[in-house]
């Protein structure tokens, strides 16, 4: 008998297992002694035909948590227009709403605001507007009901010429801690070309109405270990790509967590590619002992394989995250007990909301997704202008046919 045939017989023998009781059984996954444990209930629940012939899909399913609940699964409704100053206004960009907090009997929100059309990179980038979020300042608005909003005015302006934030400040998030207020946001220094490296700035105040004191230097910058190829403005041409955040750090959000401050952010890599999951977008975290920093990037970065805008909230002693838009794990809700090692809790049909502004007044502990019941988003009214909208979601716990009993269904 050849060695090859002998190996095949041994391998097939190892793969043959029974499943006749409720006790855990073991199935050989491959020739490298990795095992899969399962119960008779799992086999029945997953509808597996023959435990002696496990497909790759069945092997993955058997590694899922034993009790697959639906408390993390939700569906989003259609975006709804808002009233007052958040109704669509031709010629004005209002986008990327922060989370909402409630102070003085009113909801407060901060957002990116600019005016005028977008010209792109083909013209005079020194004077043109290359993106809708270019030449933005941070404004804020208030509402008594979350529907009708009053624009209160400028909160954080762009910096003076030559400053790290002289071109645009945008995509802002709010954190309240010990009766102080902190705004973190993206910054761009002119000229805004395709190889420009975005950074993160910070402003703080004793009141949600300001005045705001801005950090003189960025609190977070891209990794400095990628190498561009040539001098042409081509963001895909690289000699070395570098870390996941070697090009840009975007969408910052700071959460107090376990006595420290976790700054979650989106990283864009130099030479970013399109893969089977879309754009190469991943998230990272930087941690500080003080809200003002310094923020030190975690050695575990990146902490996600996918995502776009940051959407994170505390739950059950850990941090939950809604991952959308890009990457092989997009449209999932994930949770990490330590705020770093995230696992998928549910996979959603889709997420119509973008740049989500969470309702921080929600009861985070009521259920995992309570904070997603309603909040703010934005919509592209056309290629030049965006407006802020309202999103809603609901838990989806069952599927019923027309006329079928819906006892205790949500």
CATH code, domain carrying 185: 2.115.10.20
pTM as predicted: 0.89
- Domain count along the chain: 2
User: Residues 80, 51: one domain?
Assistant: no
Tens digit of each residue's pLDDT (9 = 90 or more) over 389-410: 999 999 988 888 888 876 544 4
Tens digit of each residue's pLDDT (9 = 90 or more) over 17-76: 333 333 344 444 444 435 788 889 889 989 999 999 999 999 999 988 766 678 999 999
Instruction: Please state, in angstroms and as integers, the Cα–Cα distance from residue 78 to each residue in 72, 358, 378, following that order.
Output: 20, 16, 12
User: Residues 119, 206: one domain?
Assistant: yes
User: Residues 191, 44: one domain?
Assistant: no
User: Does residue 409 belong to any structural domain of this protein?
Assistant: no
Residue 172: closest CA among 233, 214, 207: 214
Task: Read off the CATH number of the domain in which 49 is found.
Answer: 1.10.8.360
User: Residues 26, 167: one domain?
Assistant: no
User: Does residue 404 belong to any structural domain of this protein?
Assistant: no
pLDDT in tens, the chain (410 residues): 444 443 333 333 333 333 333 334 444 444 443 578 888 988 998 999 999 999 999 999 998 876 667 899 999 999 999 999 999 999 999 999 999 999 999 999 999 999 999 999 998 999 999 999 999 999 999 999 999 999 999 999 999 999 999 999 999 999 999 999 999 999 999 999 999 999 999 999 999 999 999 999 999 999 999 999 999 999 999 999 999 999 999 999 999 999 999 999 999 999 999 998 999 999 999 999 999 999 999 999 999 999 999 999 999 999 999 999 999 999 999 999 999 999 999 999 999 998 999 999 999 999 999 999 999 999 999 999 999 999 999 998 888 888 887 654 44
Residue 311: closest CA among 96, 94, 126: 96
Residue 185: closest CA among 247, 136, 253: 253
User: Residues 19, 115: one domain?
Assistant: no
User: Residues 89, 201: one domain?
Assistant: yes
User: Residues 27, 175: one domain?
Assistant: no
Could you tell me which residues are beta bridge partners of residue 248?
268
Could you tell me which residues are beta bridge partners of residue 139?
111, 154
Please give the Cα distance from 362 to 371 (Å, whole number): 5
């Amino acid at each position: 008998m050849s060695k090859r045939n002998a190996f095949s017989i041994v391998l097939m023998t190892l793969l043959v297992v029974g499943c006749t009781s409720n006790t855990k059984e073991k199935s050989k996954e491959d020739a490298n002694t990795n095992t899969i444990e399962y119960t008779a209930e799992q086999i029945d629940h997953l509808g597996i035909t023959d435990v002696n012939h496990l497909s790759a899909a069945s092997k993955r399913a058997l590694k899922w948590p034993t009790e697959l609940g639906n408390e993390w699964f939700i569906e989003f409704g259609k975006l709804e227009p808002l009233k007052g100053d958040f109704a669509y206004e031709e010629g004005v960009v209002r986008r990327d709403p922060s989370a909402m907090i409630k102070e003085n009997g009113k909801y407060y929100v901060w957002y990116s605001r600019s005016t005028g059309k977008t010209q792109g990179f083909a013209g005079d980038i020194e004077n043109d507007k290359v993106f809708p979020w270019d030449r933005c300042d941070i404004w804020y608005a208030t509402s008594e009901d979350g529907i009708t909003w009053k624009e209160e005015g400028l909160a954080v302006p762009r910096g003076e010429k030559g400053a790290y934030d002289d071109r645009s400040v945008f995509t802002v998030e709010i954190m309240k801690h010990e009766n102080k207020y902190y705004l973190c946001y993206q910054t761009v220094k002119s000229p805004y070309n395709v190889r420009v490296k975005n950074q993160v700035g910070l402003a703080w105040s004793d009141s949600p109405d300001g005045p705001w004191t801005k950090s003189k230097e960025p609190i977070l910058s891209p990794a400095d270990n990628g190498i561009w190829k040539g001098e042409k403005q081509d963001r895909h041409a690289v000699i070395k790509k570098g870390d996941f955040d070697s090009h840009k750090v975007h969408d910052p959000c700071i959460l107090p967590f376990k006595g420290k401050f976790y700054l979650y952010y989106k990283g864009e890599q130099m030479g970013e590619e399109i893969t089977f999951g879309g754009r190469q977008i991943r998230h990272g975290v930087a941690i500080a002992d003080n809200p003002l920093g310094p923020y030190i990037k975690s050695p575990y970065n990146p902490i996600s394989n996918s995502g776009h805008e940051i959407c994170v909230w505390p739950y059950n002693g850990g941090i939950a995250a809604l991952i959308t838009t890009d990457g092989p794990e997009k449209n999932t809700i994930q949770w990490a007990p330590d705020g770093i090692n995230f696992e998928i809790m549910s996979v959603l049909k889709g997420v119509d909301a973008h740049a989500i502004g969470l309702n921080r007044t929600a009861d985070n502990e009521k259920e995992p997704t309570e904070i997603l019941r309603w909040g703010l988003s934005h919509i592209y009214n056309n290629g030049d202008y965006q407006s802020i909208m309202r999103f809603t979601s609901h838990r989806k716990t069952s599927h019923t046919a027309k006329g079928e009993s819906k006892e205790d269904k949500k």
